[in-house]
Homo-oligomer: A and B are copies of this chain.
Amino acid sequence: MPTATASHQPTVTSRPSTYPASTSVQVNANELFCALRLNIPASPELERELFTTRRVAEGETVFRAGDEFHCLYVTRSGFFKSVLFDETGTEKVLRFAIKNDLLGADGLASGRYPSEVIALEASEVIIVPFARLAALTRTCAGLENGLYSLLSRELVADQGLLYVMAALNAEGRVAAFLLNLAERYGALGYARNAFVLRMTRQEIGSYLGLKLETVSRAFSAFDSAGLIKVNLKHIDIVDAVGLRRAMHEPVLRASRQAASTERRATRSFDRLNPLGGGTQPATA
């Protein structure tokens, strides 16, 4: 349970005192829409439309469940989890957010955030006061539709996860999770086949509806089958095609030593994103 206090007025940038005030960057609307993969033509007016960014320390919340909704947040760097609490206070991870993901859209419905977003490493978000965004809608052609499709995208992503949870077994879900993460990193220009998990096994389990031990076992199984290499938080995807196959059929447990000899990693990552994507660019 992180103890960080998140005071976030729409217009004022609040941050841990360790960061100098000067580092709080302004982002203009052009960049923002571009980051969100919205096809809004760049314009000088949008360049003048500035949004504040906010640093979020590891363990700190971006917003809390129950807070009044005022802003959307677009992640600029770092890693986040979005969680829901039940009446007993136990949390369920709804989503992991990386760069350029949208957060807080679920607060629009009721005027309060039902979920809560917590940074899993030192991160940065763009604060997007919803009223200002809505106002921009009226001056900026195409933004309106962009905003709708942005929300719809979230919907599709959640449906993808629903599919994974209902249709796939433990190994399948973990495989889908890894491929999704790989794809999202790839879409940002980072390496698709090697990354560091920012979350614990428990958080992955919560996300996928599994226990932490089950997640760990799936990782080990994939490793000894030569599909990935696991070293705690470090993941190397060795055989993405095999991993995709593992979504639907049990993994053939290769003998452990085989890992070092079989180094002929198939690497066609195209069309390989199983979960709807944290927030993917609209591939039906």
Contacts and interface: CB of A to CB of B under 8 A. Distances in A.
A84 B163 contact: yes
B152 A105 contact: yes
Interface stretch (A11-19, A53-61, A111-119, A185-193): A111-119
A147 to B, nearest CB: 7
A86 B275 CA distance: 12
Interface string A128-155: 0000001001100000110111111111
Highest count of chain B CB atoms <10 Å: which of A107, A152, A163? A152
Contacts of A162: 92, 94, 158, 161-162, 165
A284 B92 contact: no
Q: How large is the interface on A (under 10, 10 to 19, 20 to 34, 35 or more residues)?
A: 35 or more
A159 B84 contact: yes
Contact of A109 (B90, B111, B112, B149): B149
Contacts of A283: 110
A209 interface: yes
Nearest to A94: B159
A282 B206 contact: no
Contact of A166 (B108, B159, B209): B209
Contact of A151 (B94, B113, B148, B207): B148
A109 B156 contact: yes
A106 interface: yes
11 contacts: A106-B155, A106-B159, A108-B149, A109-B152, A109-B153, A109-B282, A110-B283, A110-B284, A115-B159, A151-B152, A165-B165
